[in-house]
Structure 1
Amino acid sequence: MINFGIIGTNWITHSFVEAAHATGKYTLAAVYSRKEDTAKEFAAKYEGKQITTYTDLNVLTKDSNISTVYIASPNILHYEQAKLFLSAGKNVILEKPSCSTVEELDDLFKTAQEKDVILIEAFRHIQEANFKLLKSQVAKLGPIYGASINFAQYSSRYEKVLQGEVPNIFNLEMGGGALVDLGVYCVAAAIDLFGAPTDSQYWPVKIATGADGAGRLIFTYPTFTVHLCHSKIYNSDAPSEIYGEKGTLIVPSITDIGKITFWDPKSKKREEVEGVVVPEKLNLMEEAEEFARCIVDKDEKTIRSYEQHSRDVLKVLEKVRHDNGLVFPGGK
């Protein structure tokens, strides 16, 4: 059983806790918030658990009952907080995006290895059984001609921007923007499917806060290109597709993939590839299960592969942000 603590008391944290408990391999044992009432309110939702609440991160690092910490705080705090807990000998599950710079991320991985603990970036979608099924189907396409990966969901917090406010998710000072919030899903998926691109370019839609509210990327590979589209200021139901000599693979969304369709150019027919049905409420359970396995088994080969994936993703994010003047604090 993995006794874990959480930093960040928003909806994604509740989703992770519920999914982690559903695996039967975790127990929530600590909750941190800057405000004691907020920490207690979060902990109260999990009756029957022995949960300690904290308002001081340094005190939490000394809790010997905690082996692992899940961090879902504002993006700009990820590096500092992950460094603190890794240095204290705690495993860290770090919500995406991991850090602002590759230099920061490399420092975290170095610290994790020195302390013999694990740092894993929480890319939930590439751990989903149906995403892995999609990946396994790519070979049937033969030579790849290209792909289109889309993830565009209108954010209610954009209403605050239109009213002259600067919510964290659209604030460069807090490490915000659509690329690192939703676009990162597309980037992570493309790199998991096809590897790191040889080049990447980004065309952002900048909004009043100075951050990007939406954008399009092009990944260049030796023999094909991948187009990625993401947004938090408009919605799109466009599917994601992978094109090959022997057909096309189609999914409604790059996350929470409900079904996979294969279009056969010879028969001109569509075939459904049967996937796994996961309750929407527990859509983080597959990642929680895999992270528990990595922590318990200390599967070095897999852990190193996840490290490289995170590094490749962040290298793209950092490069295209700087190309377009989307600079976070400390990244100038």
Structure 2
Amino acid sequence: MINFGCIGTGWITASFVNSAQATGKWKLAAVYSRRAETAKEFGAKFDVTTVHTSIESLAKDGDIQAVYIASPNSLHYEQAKVILAAKKHVIIEKPATSTVAEFEELYALAKDQGVFLLEANRHIQEINFKVLQQNLSKLGPIYGASLTYASYSSRYNNVLAGETPNIFSLEYSGGALVDLGVYPISFAVALFGKPKSQSYSPVIIATGADGGGLITLQYEGFGVAINASKCYTSTAPSEVYGEKGTFVINAVTDIERVTFLDAKSKQKEELAKEKAKLNLQEEAEEFARIIDGGDGEAAKRLEELSRIVIGITTDLRRQCGLVFAVEKL
């Protein structure tokens, strides 16, 4: 059993705690918030009474071995740095950091301290993503892919009302690219590796951040088209094309269908398996396996995937003049 603390008291943290504890391998033992009442209220949902109002206090808590971080993007680096320095494992919501330099520093610190830093790209741990990976050879030569994750955010209503929510704020390292865009980008990288080049045609919203747009990843001999947005919705499925057929996937997260359409026979074959009941459960199961088993090789593969993804998103932002506040310091 891994006793862990959490930074962040929003819905994603509650989802991770429920999913992690459902594996039987994790137990929430402490909650951090700047306000004690907020931490107590969140902890009460899970019968947890230990709360912290400083990151340093959380880091010194001898009853926890790991910390899950789901704070605003711009805070990830400083918070993770304190926790890692205390020799505790860190699971950090994507994007792990605002910049490549922050990313490299945190992973070097984790290595020096002998602990794991794991970025929470939950979808690539789902059983049906792995089914797709394992069956990709059915396509023969790859001809391309179209990946979609475009879902209107309720917080875009705040933008339309003249407000600047954290997730749409460059001050807090926000924007659709690093919030939803990283899902299809990491999906593509996990399937095909690092692209040769990339481009982005964003919709720039009133806050100065990107609300969504079209991303292209160029590989040797084929391209991947990505539609990612938080200011409009697409109902299109995602597809991977090859000489021998097409894979149709209902979504890049919470994958329920992996259908192979044979190019010649036009016959359909459904390959999807039953996924975990809770949508972060497979991720929590794998992270527990890595930590408990000391699987440095698996952690290194995830680190390299994260490194490629932040390199892509950083390049895309620079192409479009999307500069985070931390980059101006």
TM over 0.5: yes
How far apart are residue 257 of structure 1 and its match? 0.5
Q: What is residue 211 of structure 1 aligned with on the other side? A: 209
1:16 aligns with 2:22: no
How far apart are residue 269 of structure 1 and its match? 2.2
Matched residues in 1 for 2:263 and 2:141: separation?
14
1:274-300: CA deviation from partner (whole Å, max 9, x where unpaired): 322332xx1100000000011111111
Which of 316, 325, 328 lines up with 2:324 in the alignment?
A: 328
Matched residues in 1 for 2:21 and 2:326: separation?
37
Asked if 1 retains the 8 angstrom alpha-carbon contact of 2:244 and 2:262, the reply is yes
Q: Which amino acid aligns with 2:236?
A: A
Gaps in structure 1 of 5+ consecutive residues: none
Please give the residue correspondences for 1:1-332 in structure 2 after superposition, counting only pairs within 5 Å.
Answer: 1-47=1-47, 49=48, 51-279=49-277, 282-332=278-328
SS at match of 2:188: helix
Matched residues in 2 for 1:175 and 1:54: separation?
25
Q: Answer with 28-37 or 260-269: which moved more.
A: 260-269
Asked if 1 retains the 8 angstrom alpha-carbon contact of 2:168 and 2:209, the reply is yes
How far apart are residue 80 of structure 1 and its match? 0.7
Matched residues in 2 for 1:107 and 1:157: separation?
32
Matched residues in 2 for 1:305 and 1:33: separation?
32
SS at match of 1:157: helix
Q: Which amino acid aligns with 1:182?
A: L
How far apart are residue 303 of structure 1 and its match? 0.9
Matched residues in 2 for 1:105 and 1:116: separation?
17
Matched residues in 1 for 2:27 and 2:263: separation?
50
SS at match of 1:243: strand
Q: Which amino acid aligns with 1:241?
A: E
How far apart are residue 66 of structure 1 and its match? 1.0
Matched residues in 1 for 2:327 and 2:221: separation?
33
How far apart are residue 265 of structure 1 and its match? 1.4
Gaps in structure 2 of 5+ consecutive residues: none
Matched residues in 2 for 1:80 and 1:53: separation?
20
SS at match of 1:92: strand
C-alpha spacing 1:60/1:250, structure 2 compared with 1 (3 Å) = same
TM-score (norm 1): 0.97
Structure 1 runs (4+) deviating above 3 angstroms are none
Matched residues in 2 for 1:330 and 1:114: separation?
25
Matched residues in 1 for 2:301 and 2:50: separation?
34
Q: Which amino acid aligns with 1:295?
A: I
Aligned length: 328
Matched residues in 1 for 2:276 and 2:27: separation?
21
Asked if 1 retains the 8 angstrom alpha-carbon contact of 2:74 and 2:326, the reply is no
- Give the superposed CA RMSD: 0.9
Asked if 2 retains the 8 angstrom alpha-carbon contact of 1:237 and 1:252, the reply is no
TM-score (norm 2): 0.98
Asked if 2 retains the 8 angstrom alpha-carbon contact of 1:182 and 1:230, the reply is yes
Q: Which amino acid aligns with 1:317?
A: T
Asked if 2 retains the 8 angstrom alpha-carbon contact of 1:32 and 1:56, the reply is yes
Asked if 1 retains the 8 angstrom alpha-carbon contact of 2:149 and 2:251, the reply is yes
SS at match of 2:327: coil
Q: Answer with 236-245 or 57-66: which moved more.
A: 57-66
How far apart are residue 59 of structure 1 and its match? 1.1
SS at match of 2:234: coil
1:180-220: CA deviation from partner (whole Å, max 9, x where unpaired): 11011011100000001010111110000000001111111
How far apart are residue 136 of structure 1 and its match? 1.1
Matched residues in 2 for 1:277 and 1:106: separation?
33
Matched residues in 2 for 1:297 and 1:101: separation?
30
